[in-house]
Structure 1
Amino acid sequence: MPEITLDDFNSLIHTVYEAGINPHKWSAFVGDLSGHLDDTLICLHAHDTVARASLGLLASGAAPEFIDSYVRDYATINVWANGMAIAPIGKLVQSEEIYDPDKLLKTEFYNDCLRSQSLVSASAVALHRSSDRMLFLSGNIRLRNHDLVRARVNRTFDLLGPHITRSFELMRHIPHQVEGEDYRATLETSTDAVLFIDRAGRITHCNRAGTAMRKDASFLAVDRDGHLHLKDPRADTTLRIALAAIARADFPAIPGSFPVRRAAGSPMRAMIVPLAHRTTQTMFDQIFEDLPIAMLVLRNQPTPQPSVAALPGYGLTPAESELAVAIAQGISLRDHADSRDVSIHTVRAQLKSVFAKTETRRQSQLAALILRH
């Protein structure tokens, strides 16, 4: 079974980021992904974790009547959904990790829902979670060629996960595109600073908040040729790496969100988002050298909260306790390290200690333990 080509993967990433700006594109993404993963039912779930009910489902690879019956009846008995409710955000989770396969065969969910579609397992990524709702992407795998398909689905989801979570973060903070309305106009209502950047690292356009940000000399500088320079050296290096990756259409190499510190004021959080139609050079790039290839989105970074005591009785240090709580909230190790201004190696060492003290082996197990307490 052939792997997804780099061109196909980049095409999927294009659609992911387009959907972050225009949510109507998520249907196209689900359809495109299904077309690349045979024998797999691709679903984008919106789920009420309290009522255990579907809030909506985008699916490709199943009959419409099956999708309707899932939303109406089967979502309430989906035994996998409970596990996804505590899964780390953006991380690949396999159905066997959240529900015993032998017990699954005895459930109403399997016998009434999965079995009719010859579905036997799933891989999924949690994309967003609030106190009572969650969003997750699942690849439900059919029995035929199961092992080969499963490996391919896992690799694809593992690569796509960070981009999808980043796109949903963009969608939550940037106003949605309105049909028939200039998208630049909608950006003006955002409190986030949005800067459009070309291949050379020059700012080509800003929204209102971005224009104000350009005047903050403690945060960034723009040279006489319009090139953007972040005053935080580490953040500026990350920005250069991201722009270079976008320019060569190497989407897996695009860094995730990153902190930007400044001499005065609270730190910011930055996210670099490729503009799908600008990543491949055309003849127009030879004429118009300032066509943007990326959006830099900047927002205030929440001030770290005081240490929270997690799992009393397990002997966790304050730093380990904070890390455990962050994992339960779906925060990545990298983001936690950045928010605490420590290295990723320090956080990984803390996690190893937490695993040993709590007798857990995975972040999902640790999150489940915290939520039970």
Structure 2
Amino acid sequence: MERAINNAAEGTAEELLEFIGDIYEASYHPEHWKVVITELCRRLNAKSGGIHVEDYHQKTRYMMACYGLPKVAELSYRLGMAKYDPIYQIQSLRPIGRAGLVCRHDEARLAHPLYYRLIAKPNDLGYVAAISFFNDDHWHVGIGVHRSFKAEPFGKRELQLLDQLAPHFQRALLIQRQLHLQESRAQTLQYALSKVMLGTVIIDRDNRIRYCNDLATLLLDTHPALVQTPQGFKAHYPEDDLKLQEMLLRLRETPGLDPWPQDQAIGLRHPERSHPLTVIGVPCHEAPHSQFGPAEPGLVVLYLSDPGASFNASEEQLIQTFGLTRKEAGIAIALTNGLDLKEISNQKGVSLATVRTQLKGIFHKLGVNKQQDIIRILLGSGIGNSPH
């Protein structure tokens, strides 16, 4: 029996290299961690196991992947039971990258009777071997593997295999963490730009659009003061276009000039509009490596705003976009079009107290606490904005 276990733990050199390849593949395909923990349990002749993560910054605790564990065990871990698990605490005190047999059922029965009765025995966790890969201010990540009460304890060779694999797990987890942070930063910026209360466009040195949020797309499609041509943006009036091109040139000046060009603002006119289109230009020194493309010199952010735009959204649009009720949507539209609460009460034929109650519902769903913020969000959302 022991020999069979040792052979499973060792495998051939080629098989071990293939398994290490699986570990690195999981760094950029997180769903592959399931394959890794399953194969690791097979190699260690373990009945079950899991890769646990406790992220101190995000204040989350979860199983990155597990094998052979009931769903209730995974759920209880996510809900914080691991904090009170003595085995988890024992593992957290061990040296990083050093595997050990952290629990035997015969010892746990006496030393940790509650754990033994509520966790170990019902889940047949007779022996637990564990290793921590990280345990610092950012996170605690490790692996725990289990054998049945009826099995033999994990031996020296199984623990040595975990030690041998530790550097590869550490590198793969760091790669995954960096990829996740980079993706999160890009997604956060993308989401913020998509929701910013101005039309937002990022253009490169060749005047190609790298990013354009929904409101900017609407303004470019409907406001004739600024049009997009194969050569770049062009204003309707020649004198306005000269100001626009000069502004872009200043914003793209070589870094190091004194003074470094700051943001610029101009108004672009059109005879059919009573209000000029406001364009604010900002030099973009850095850009995330995302759909905007890699960081490079010459990137400029243009913020577009049409003071003369009217708000003609339907209640259905606000219901679908913001999750408002029909009555809340009606109040939000009335507010945005300049009515006060008393006027809305008279218009809707309901009491002022009812309007205020529904207003609180709008505050909650939009995450604001002022009427002005409701107006700002709706006007900036791009919904219902139409040209005169």
* TM-score of the pair, normalised by structure 2: 0.39
Which protein is bigger by CA-based radius of gyration?
A: 2
TM-score of the aligned structures, taking structure 1 as reference length: 0.41
